[in-house]
Amino acid sequence: MSRRTTLTQYLIEQQREHNNIPGDLRLLIEVVARACKAIAHHVSKGALGDVLGTAGSENIQGEVQKKLDVLSNEILLEANEWGGNLAAMASEELEEIHPIPNRYPKGEYLLLFDPLDGSSNIDVNVSIGTIFSVLRCPDGEHPTEQSFLQEGTKQVAAGYAVYGPQTVLVLTTGNGVQSFTLDRELGSWVLTTRNMTIPADTHEYAINASNARHWYPPVTRYVGELLAGKDGPRGADFNMRWTASMVADVNRILVRGGIFMYPADKRDPSRPGRLRLLYEANPMSFIVEQAGGAATTGTTRILDVKPQHLHERVAVFLGSKNEVERVTGYHAP
């Protein structure tokens, strides 16, 4: 049997080779990965674990919380409080930041996460996941909300877990993108794909077509060309794949290419988009760029956006580079 590389072995090897994963960061990533294993266990139990259905509450976004939303958030908070690697955390499910309790030692990193992306798919047994991002806490600061408002280029690590037929952890620390599969018998994350690369060209796209009547002209033009297929200006057929779970759609793009789009639309002209910059757009954009893809708001590179508040939203176009550049060009004045 060929030697298997575990997540811990990979992180140690990366530190030796690139000197970019100090001990505290390695331990933080391992703790997040263990929390994802716990979430995967509860997801797999479904109705048997009494985790389906709503929790009877709303999050800061005004969205009805599922039981698994609340449980996943609690698992990530509790797992990461005591290790001494973090100064504070921020969750899509919480209005304010979550400081590390005074009874625990503090570290130099900040952790941001969407505990359970794709909640609408929980009860119908379609892939869902967890997204996370790691920043350094600015020197000399007691963490405040302002500490988290850093451009995506400042991320030191980002990743996501997909809870599907296989449980997969995708990770970048700034030197490419690696995919680990959970070996349930051994309880280990095993490196199964090295240096994932997104093809520059694609014939697949992901967008919620039910919102077509609300799109702005650049998106209407771009998707219209894709729908026209061989008879249209692109001279090629395109397939649409939409899962309503960002982790599932982005994972497909990492494996075989594609473009994921969640544009702003006319329903609320004051809102620049729907997806959260800090919890979804930034970590996914970091991963996509590390895999050779591109990620923009339609007008700006996502990783260059300076956040203004903790739950800021943006439009998202990410995936195969040539398609992202094309639809971004359509947004140019």
Name the phi and psi angles at 87, rounded to 5.
Answer: -90, -30
119 annotated as belonging to a binding site for a ligand: yes
**Spatial separation of the C-alpha atoms in residues 213 and 216, rounded to whole Å:** 9
Are the CB atoms for 132 and 173 separated by under 8 Å? no
Are the CB atoms for 42 and 71 separated by under 8 Å? yes
Nearest in space to 321 (alpha carbons), one of 274, 267, 258: 258
Torsion angle (degrees, nearest 10) of CA 107, 30, 32, 112: 40
**Spatial separation of the C-alpha atoms in residues 234 and 162, rounded to whole Å:** 33
- Alpha carbon of residue 292 to chain centroid: 16
Q: Is the dihedral of CA 11, 17, 21, 24 positive or negative?
A: positive
85 annotated as belonging to a binding site for a ligand: no
Tokens representing residue 96 in the block: 């304010």
183 annotated as belonging to a binding site for a ligand: no
188 annotated as belonging to a binding site for a ligand: no
320 annotated as belonging to a binding site for a ligand: no
Give every CB contact of residue 315 below 8 A, 6+ residues apart in sequence. 262, 263, 264, 272, 273, 274, 275, 297, 298
72 annotated as belonging to a binding site for a ligand: no
24 annotated as belonging to a binding site for a ligand: no
| Binding-site annotation: residue ranges | 92, 114, 116-120, 208, 280
Which residues make up each annotated binding site for substrate? 117-120, 208
**Annotated binding-site members for Mg(2+):** 92, 114, 116-117, 280
